[in-house]
Amino acid sequence: MPAGDPRFFGRSGPHSLAAVAAACGAPAPAGERLFTGVAPLQTATAQEVSFLDNRRYLPALAATRAGAVILHPALVERVPAGTLALPTAEPYAGWARVAALFYPQPAAQPGVHASAVVDPAARVDATAEIGPLAVIGAGAEIGPRCRIGPGAVIGEGVVLGADCRIGALASLSHALLGQRVYVYPGARIGQEGFGFATTPAGFLTVPQLGSVILHDDVEVGANSTIDRGSAQDTVIGAGSRLDNLVQIGHNVRLGRCCVIVALAGISGSTVLGDFVMVGGQVGMAGHLSIGDRARIGAQAGVIADLPAAAEVIGSPAMPAREFFRQVATLRRLAARRGRPAAGEERAESG
């Protein structure tokens, strides 16, 4: 099956060579040509555009029948005859833009489905799409061209800026969203944080009186959860990306363009700077400060503050170089333990 199965993806085009080159930021080769879509190097035809961003796939480039290939300028001479080169310093970003050219996000279909429940006190822009069985609470505001998926629940007072997309069965409460925020299916945003006091009689729930603020261009993956703040707000900075199954505790603050990979959990009141990258299954203690551009490897356990540009891995987390030195030392010790001592070798040979 080619990329962009028409049962699931609407395609635009065909698009001219000039339009494709402009989208990926490459100089347009001479001549006129039309392209109908995008495809991997291995399956692309003369009417399709492909890309190369990893030298491991140079053999596939040599054999490709793609009409054009987006790639780094250093690899232009490796493009086979009959295929046009579209050189750009950032091939993967160029590919993303060309793919979006052929397969743009579906536009909202304005209107409220007959099965949806919209409170009379809600404000829904006329250009927004409200899907089947969706629920919009009193005082909620749904901005222009928003798309609310089937069964999604937008709680009282929640505000969505323009061009937001809320996936099927997601639920939002106590939340303010900027523009172009995408909440994937099943995500839970704005529920009470995990806050309680311990008393002689048992646990006493602490009221969670904050909100969740998602700035522009944030994406929240499927079945991820973001707790609202206790007395402050939980804040996700502009452009940040949360993978599926991520847990964000109350009062957490993420800076701009952070990446949080699947199954990571960030405990309450921890603050991340800009461009922090958190690997899969990372666990972070509460009340920490993580500096700008820190990189935290998969399965790390972070229990102390990290400076800007730190690179850590392991549990407890430690500098990556130190971690790998320890691993190498353990391997050497294990190898020595498995070899017989010099006296034992002589005894065996005798």
- Give yes or no for a contact between 204 and 196, defined as CB atoms under 8 angstroms apart: yes
For residues 291 and 242, what is the distance between their CA atoms, to the nearest angstrom? Answer: 18
- Tell me which H or E stretch contains 302: strand 301-302
Pairing between β-strand 318-319 and β-strand 311-313 as defined by DSSP bridges: antiparallel
Pairing between β-strand 241-242 and β-strand 259-260 as defined by DSSP bridges: parallel
Give the CA-trace dihedral at 329, 335, 337, 339, to 10 degrees: -150
Among residues 113, 174, 250, 287, the one annotated as catalytic is: 250
- Give yes or no for a contact between 278 and 259, defined as CB atoms under 8 angstroms apart: yes
For the chain, how far is it from start to end, CA to CA, in angstroms?
68
For residues 51 and 245, what is the distance between their CA atoms, to the nearest angstrom? Answer: 30
DSSP per position, 94-134:
HHHHHHHHHSPPPPP--EE-TT-EE-TT-EE-TT-EE-TT-
3-class secondary structure, 76: helix
- Give yes or no for a contact between 101 and 37, defined as CB atoms under 8 angstroms apart: no
- Give yes or no for a contact between 17 and 68, defined as CB atoms under 8 angstroms apart: yes
DSSP assignment letter at 106: P
Residue 209 exposed, middle or buried by CB count within 10 Å (0-12, 13-18, 19+): middle
Q: Catalytic annotation on 250? A: yes
Residue positions annotated with a catalytic role: 250
